[in-house]
Amino acid sequence: MQNYRMGKALTTTDALVLSLLNWPEGPHDLPKVFDAFARVVDGISTDVGVLGCVDGGDLVMAHVSDPETMFRATPVLADGWAPPTMMPATWHGRLTRSRLAAYFRSEWLGTPCEPSWGAHMLFASPPREVGDSLVIQMENLAKRPLVDPLRELAAEDTPEWLALSVQPDGEWAGLLTDWEGTDAFLAETQPGAAWSAARTRRVICPAPKHWWQLRGWRDAADSRRYCGQWEEPIPITVFLGWPAYAVAAAVSTAPCDSCGKATIKGRRFCGGPECNRARAIARQRASRSRPVRLPRVGEI
């Protein structure tokens, strides 16, 4: 039997991350996203009305009253462990504090997409070319405290607007759905309590068999390890999107002492490769600049 070493908890309970799969048809459908989220959470707490199926290794969930609004559901244990097939391959089934910090220091990549509708943001400065990339700074006009900044900035696209799909680069590349990418880009690193409250629900799961099975896989690669506890209800926290999970797990953010990018509570440095190289160079320079101590009489 293989034992799994538990790491430091990232969240106070196990978490279920619901990632909206379908971009809403128009701004008028935005309230339906939050309604569908609330219905699925209610279905989880009562064990009634939630539809689920496995699609290519992903768990897809919806409520019977709104089966067309589907979420990819990712269960994450409190210490960051999740089924490896549901996470980026390089994570090996574990979300660590280092990877969490990487989310907040991510640069954002914009990919041209077909015009439809989205958050209309103004250019804060003229676009500039950097290598093969086009760097664009945008001005976020959403009011704080943020709750649904997309709804505040939503409008139909017209020819003068540049339609982009935004995603973080680095370790989080490819994980977020279109909804999550846009939601995270608008929320930035400190969206506030109102934004988080609209995307977070804590419930008691009355049918927790699969949560105990996940614990068994994590601890001993044996889904039946805790079969005697399959009927014990457990508290879980349900998040509307990975950005809401990341904000909750980070607790708070602060500027990195070295490069100024955001990093999570308890870390002075963000841990990015460029930041680490800069710190190493600074240490080498400081070491070389120290005066050479000559031996005293009698020490030779």
Average pLDDT, the chain: 91
pLDDT for 24 beyond 50: yes
Cβ contacts of 155 within 8 Å, gap of 6 or more? 27, 117, 118, 120
Range ranked top by mean pLDDT from 127-136, 188-197, 253-262, 280-289:
188-197
Block residue for tokens 């209800």: 233
The pair of structure tokens assigned to 270 is 């963000």
* Residue 47 Cα to chain centre, angstroms: 26
CA distances from 270 to 59, 104, 105, 249, 262 (A): 32, 8, 7, 15, 7
CB 57 within 8 Å of CB 88: no
Q: Stretch 16-29: mean pLDDT, rounded?
A: 96
pLDDT for 210 beyond 90: yes
pLDDT band at 290 (very low <50, low <70, confident <90, very high): confident
pLDDT band at 289 (very low <50, low <70, confident <90, very high): confident
pLDDT band at 300 (very low <50, low <70, confident <90, very high): low
pLDDT band at 292 (very low <50, low <70, confident <90, very high): low
pLDDT for 4 beyond 90: no
pLDDT band at 44 (very low <50, low <70, confident <90, very high): very high
Q: Is the peptide bond before 145 cis (omega within 30 degrees of 0)?
A: yes
Q: Is the dihedral angle over the CA atoms 50, 85, 197, 181 positive or is it negative?
A: negative
pLDDT for 89 beyond 80: yes
* pTM of the complete model: 0.89
The pLDDT, as a whole number, for residue 294 is 65
The pLDDT, as a whole number, for residue 1 is 32
CB 166 within 8 Å of CB 110: yes
pLDDT for 221 beyond 70: yes
Between 101 and 257, residue with greater pLDDT: 101
* Separation of alpha carbons 208 and 213, rounded Å: 9
The pLDDT, as a whole number, for residue 2 is 36
% of the chain with per-residue pLDDT over 70: 93
Instruction: Decide: helix, strand or coil at residue 277.
Output: helix
In the beta sheet, which residues pair with residue 108? 168
Residue type, 138: M
The pLDDT, as a whole number, for residue 7 is 55
Between 277 and 229, residue with greater pLDDT: 229
The pair of structure tokens assigned to 113 is 């997409």
In the beta sheet, which residues pair with residue 139? 122
Judged on CB neighbours under 10 Å (0-12, 13-18, 19+), 149 is: buried
Residue range 148-204, pLDDT digits in tens: 999 999 999 999 999 999 999 999 999 999 999 999 999 999 999 999 999 999 999
Q: Stretch 7-35: mean pLDDT, rounded?
A: 94
